[in-house]
Amino acid sequence: MNQFIETKFTIPTLKGISAKTIEEHLKLYAGYVKNSNVILEKINELANETEKNAYALGELQRRFGFEFDGMRNHEYYFKSFEGGANNLAEKSALKSAVEKEWGAWDFWLDRFKSIALTRGIGWVILYYDKKTDRLLNTWVDEQHLGHLTGLSPVLALDMWEHSFVADYQPSGKKHYIEDFFANLNWEVIEKNFTEAQN
């Protein structure tokens, strides 16, 4: 059976987010990759007797969504730091699409950041919906509850405590959000948007 492979990221020194936090965070990501593989293997074992193993299979399938989405969410997150901070091009297609949807870049950015302050653990994700040719923001609880079906992530911000508490303390959530944006390589985000359109 094919296995999911852990991506190796090249993350530069970041503003505010320490190398230690990134190191520990990458270990959590590796766990999502490992667990996604383990769960699929177990599902294949138990699927030979689906009636007998119905309860266990149901629980494993629920868990698989959590582990798999944890893996993919983190891949968007870490990839966005590779190459170092890089501003969005003034004439970028993503910027034009954001302005078309929300009227102004800063209006979208404020709204995205306000979603990031949602109480609880989860993610803020900017999606592209190819069917309607529009961008949508959403909050995803944990790793998997609230994903928008059929839409492609363009930008993913991790708002679990492990991504910021060691560097910012719980009270520093807003500062972490600002530093996340200061560290982004917008060329990567723009590429995500281009790929989502194809």
CATH node for 93-197: 3.55.40.20
Cα separation of 97 and 86, whole Å? 19
Q: Helix, strand, coil % (nearest 5) of the chain? A: 55, 15, 30
Averaged over 33-53, what is the pLDDT? 93
Q: Other C-beta atoms within 10 Å of 69: how many?
A: 19
Question: Is the predicted pLDDT of residue 60 greater than 80, yes or no?
Answer: yes
Averaged over 43-57, what is the pLDDT? 91
Taking a C-beta distance cutoff of 8 angstroms, is the pair 152, 127 a contact? Answer: yes
Q: Residue ranges per domain, the chain?
A: 19-79, 93-197
Q: How far apart are the first and last CA of the chain?
A: 29
- Contact residues for 147 (Cβ-Cβ < 8 A; gap 6+): 69, 125, 138, 140
Per-residue pLDDT reduced to its tens digit, 130-141? 999 999 999 999
Fold of 19-79: Helix Hairpins (1.10.287)
Same CATH fold assignment for domains 19-79 and 93-197 = no
What whole-number percentage of the chain has pLDDT above 70?
A: 99
HEC per residue, 44-56:
HHHHHHCCCCHHH
Per-residue pLDDT reduced to its tens digit, 62-115? 999 999 999 999 999 999 999 999 999 989 999 999 999 999 999 999 999 999
